[in-house]
Chains A and B, each alone.
Chain A
Amino acid sequence: MERRLKDALASKLMLIATVLSSLTVFFIALALFQKGSFILTTRPLSHLFSSSWQPSKSQFGFYPFIIGTLWVTGLAMVLAIPVSLLCAIYLAEYASKSVRDILKPLVDLLSGIPSVVYGVWGVLVIVPIIRDYVAPAVGATTTGYSILAGGVLLAIMVFPIVISVSEEVFRSVPYEVQEASFALGATRWQTVKHVVIRKGLPGIIAAVILGFSRAFGETMAVLMVVGNVARAPSTVFDPGYTLPALIANSYGEMMSIPLYDSALLLAAFILLLVVFSFNVAARIILMRIERRMR
């Protein structure tokens, strides 16, 4: 009997732990919104979307940061998607098992590198390259701390997640359909183009969404190379400022200026909302694909 009691008690405790940990996201959202919404009561939404960010003068226009985040993330995705998909196709369809067994862990290693290390590397390598080679090549001048630097760094950070999810999606395309294509005399690329990619499209979309979400929320690496200037950029060589970088940088001044903390918490809440929605959408797509496999 005592064993049954232990079992029942344990299972109740575990259930509570499970419920609490699954709902943590919601608790976080609640806390952020609670404090962050305060600023909404004192400022109209139009103000919050304005381009003037001067907290000391009580001006909280988020526009430059929203635009900056979109620029950097967008550039990162434009750079990362083709490279990642091609690499994933290679790993899934062309590489032999032994090659794949070596390359896949290496790609995963990219996702383990801490973002501050990427930031340091960006400062050491990417920024000077942009300043001294890329910009002059197109006739622009820049300190190197730019949207481009942020975009390139983010693209590299996004590679592993897009590659690994896409690769799994491609591998899960049933062999019989590919075999049917080969039996008709198609080349491997034709089979990939017409059958594998077509069948894997929802999965690719999910992988891209996950990658975008990761890039959107990345803080440190971007902070270190993007220039942190609160003005909407007009070219990729201009510096920018992203929402996560703003939150991180304003840590010191947050408490001393009224409404500043509320503004930042609102920003954090928006960040959470965007990332949450994208991730849920991507996961649901992937779950549907998995279910169709069974």
Chain B
Amino acid sequence: MKEAVEPIINTEGLNVFYGEQHVLKDVTVGIPEKRITAIIGPSGCGKSTFLKSLNRLIELTDGVKVSGKIYFHGLDVFDGKIDVMYIRKKMGFLAQKPCPLPMSIYDNVTYGPRIHGLDDKKELAGIVESCLQSASLWDEVKDRLKTPASRLSVGQQQRLCLARALAVAPEVLLCDEPTSALDPISAQRIEELLINLKKNYTVVIVTHVLRQAMRLADHVVFLYLGKLIEHGSAEKVFRNPENTVTQAYVKGVFS
């Protein structure tokens, strides 16, 4: 259906240990550019760990050891010469629980650009408007940009977090079960936004809800017990999985 696309991110032999526990086992996979890739699998199988390895967020946790390679645009993410903060800038992150920073709505969105050194007020204001528009939040908050972000509803907060992530002009959006803490209506809005965003961004979404993956994904990566079982286009993995474990999972036998 869709032509094969060049992967923008490639992992090779990715292994992650939490202390003694071997959480990700030798994962080698590619993430295609400007598509929505869903990482699926039962809970606790290393999906979030995989996601957080891509932007090297995982190594901030005590006792974590990562080995293997991750290539972004062909560059080795672990190369000492590359600034890890540059990687994180290029890969926006949306967490499961909406997490507004303790500041106003405006400051939340401008936080990213500001810490990277942008202080031109006009540019910042422009970024605020465009990102809140892209997150479909602008109309609801444009009159109260300076009020604390904590006063927003949960669904609005998640959209704010999306706007905040977009503000640093990433190329990739990493979403860790972004709708699991939301009500169905807010969840739906986020899903619509993600579908819209794939025109300009590569989206990687971790989800344990098969139906969500079926709705959104162009490409699927199936992880089970830390191992890569199968990956490919959504068509193939959902209709004609090669692996028996995938077949069982996709049929909803276990989730």
A188 to B: closest C-beta gap in Å? 9
Q: Is the CB of B164 within 8 A of A179?
A: no
With A187-B85, A194-B111, A194-B115 as contacts: A182 and B60 at CB distance below 8 Å: yes
Q: Which segment of B88-96, B118-126, B206-214 sits at the interface? A: B88-96
Q: Which residue of B lies closest to A181 (CB)?
A: B101
With A177-B99, A181-B101, A184-B164 as contacts: A96 and B62 at CB distance below 8 Å: yes
Number of A-B contacts (CB under 8 A): 65
Q: Report A177-199 CB contacts with B as 1/0, cut-off 8 Å.
A: 10111111111001000110011
Report chain A residues within 8 Å CB of B97.
176
B149 to A: closest C-beta gap in Å? 11
Report chain A residues within 8 Å CB of B89.
184-185
Does B116 lie at the interface of the complex (its beta carbon under 8 Å from any beta carbon of A)? Answer: yes
Q: Is the CB of A198 within 8 A of B168?
A: no
Q: Is the CB of B88 within 8 A of A185?
A: yes
Cβ-defined partner of A183 (8 Å) among B93, B102, B103: B93
Cβ-defined partner of B57 (8 Å) among A96, A177, A179, A194: A179
Report chain B residues within 8 Å CB of A199.
102
Does A97 lie at the interface of the complex (its beta carbon under 8 Å from any beta carbon of B)? Answer: yes
Q: Is the CB of A185 within 8 A of B168?
A: yes
Q: Which residue of B lies closest to A197 (CB)?
A: B102
B109 to A: closest C-beta gap in Å? 11
Q: Is the CB of B85 within 8 A of A186?
A: yes
Q: Is the CB of B85 within 8 A of A183?
A: no
With A187-B85, A195-B101, A198-B103 as contacts: A181 and B111 at CB distance below 8 Å: yes
Q: Is the CB of A184 within 8 A of B102?
A: no
Query: How many residues of chain B get a CB closer than 8 Å to chain A's CBs?
Result: 25
Q: Is the CB of A176 within 8 A of B85?
A: no
Query: How far is it, in angstroms, between the C-alpha of A32 and the C-alpha of B218 when the chains are bound?
Result: 78
Does B161 lie at the interface of the complex (its beta carbon under 8 Å from any beta carbon of A)? Answer: yes
Q: Is the CB of A190 within 8 A of B60?
A: no
Report chain A residues within 8 Å CB of B101.
177, 180-181, 194-195
Q: Is the CB of B115 within 8 A of A97?
A: no
Does B55 lie at the interface of the complex (its beta carbon under 8 Å from any beta carbon of A)? Answer: yes
Q: Is the CB of A185 within 8 A of B95?
A: no
Q: Is the CB of B85 within 8 A of A185?
A: yes
Does B42 lie at the interface of the complex (its beta carbon under 8 Å from any beta carbon of A)? Answer: no
Interface residues of B in 23-78 (CB under 8 A from A): 55, 57, 60, 62
Q: Is the CB of A182 within 8 A of B165?
A: no
Query: How many residues of chain A get a CB closer than 8 Å to chain B's CBs?
Result: 18
Does B112 lie at the interface of the complex (its beta carbon under 8 Å from any beta carbon of A)? Answer: yes
Q: Which residue of B lies closest to A195 (CB)?
A: B101
Query: How far is it, in angstroms, between the C-alpha of A178 and the C-alpha of B161 when the chains are bound?
Result: 13
B157 to A: closest C-beta gap in Å? 11
Report chain B residues within 8 Å CB of A180.
93, 95, 99, 101, 161, 164
Q: Which residue of B lies closest to A180 (CB)?
A: B99
B146 to A: closest C-beta gap in Å? 16
Cβ-defined partner of B62 (8 Å) among A97, A181, A182, A185: A97
Report chain A residues within 8 Å CB of B99.
176-177, 179-180
Query: How far is it, in angstroms, between the C-alpha of A185 and the C-alpha of B165 when the chains are bound?
Result: 10
Cβ-defined partner of A198 (8 Å) among B95, B102, B116: B102
Query: How far is it, in angstroms, between the C-alpha of A194 and the C-alpha of B168 when the chains are bound?
Result: 17
Interface residues of B in 155-170 (CB under 8 A from A): 161, 164-165, 168
Report chain A residues within 8 Å CB of B103.
194, 198
Q: Is the CB of A182 within 8 A of B88?
A: yes
Query: How far is it, in angstroms, between the C-alpha of A107 and the C-alpha of B99 when the chains are bound?
Result: 34
Report chain A residues within 8 Å CB of B87.
185
Q: Is the CB of B62 within 8 A of A177?
A: no
Report chain B residues within 8 Å CB of A198.
102-103
Query: How far is it, in angstroms, between the C-alpha of A252 and the C-alpha of B99 when the chains are bound?
Result: 63
Report chain A residues within 8 Å CB of B60.
179, 182
B100 to A: closest C-beta gap in Å? 8
With A182-B60, A184-B165 as contacts: A176 and B112 at CB distance below 8 Å: no
Query: How far is it, in angstroms, between the C-alpha of A182 and the C-alpha of B112 when the chains are bound?
Result: 10
Report chain A residues within 8 Å CB of B116.
185
With A179-B99, A194-B101, A198-B102 as contacts: A186 and B115 at CB distance below 8 Å: yes
Closest 3 CB pairs of A and B: A183-B93, A185-B88, A185-B89
Can you pick out 27 interface pairs between chain A and chain B where the beta carbons lie within 8 Å of each other? A97-B62, A177-B102, A179-B57, A179-B60, A179-B93, A180-B95, A182-B60, A183-B88, A184-B88, A184-B89, A184-B111, A184-B112, A184-B115, A185-B85, A185-B86, A185-B87, A185-B89, A185-B112, A185-B168, A186-B85, A187-B115, A190-B115, A194-B103, A194-B115, A195-B101, A195-B102, A198-B102
Given contacts A96-B62, A179-B60, 11 further A-B contacts (CB under 8 A): A97-B62, A176-B95, A177-B101, A177-B102, A179-B93, A180-B101, A183-B92, A184-B168, A198-B102, A198-B103, A199-B102
